[in-house]
Amino acid sequence: MTIRVLEYQFNRDGFEILKANSGREAKKVLDENDNIDVLITDVYMPTMNGLELINYVRNDLQKTIPIIVISRVNVKENINEALSLQADVYMTKPFNLDELSRTVNQLLNKR
CATH code assigned at 41: 3.40.50.2300
Predicted local confidence at residue 53, as pLDDT? 97
Whether residue 51 lies inside any domain: the answer is yes
Could you list the mean pLDDT of each consecutive 10-residue stretch along the chain, which spans 111 residues? 84 92 95 94 92 96 96 84 95 91 94 74
pTM (predicted TM-score): 0.92
Predicted local confidence at residue 1, as pLDDT? 54
Whether residue 67 lies inside any domain: the answer is yes
Whether residue 31 lies inside any domain: the answer is yes
Whether residue 111 lies inside any domain: the answer is no
| Structural domain boundaries enclosing 35 | 2-103
Whether residue 109 lies inside any domain: the answer is no
CA gap 22, 45 in Å, rounded = 5
Predicted local confidence at residue 101, as pLDDT? 93
CA gap 84, 60 in Å, rounded = 16
Cβ count near 80 (within 10 Å): 11
Domain count for the chain: 1
Whether residue 37 lies inside any domain: the answer is yes
Whether residue 93 lies inside any domain: the answer is yes
Whether residue 85 lies inside any domain: the answer is yes
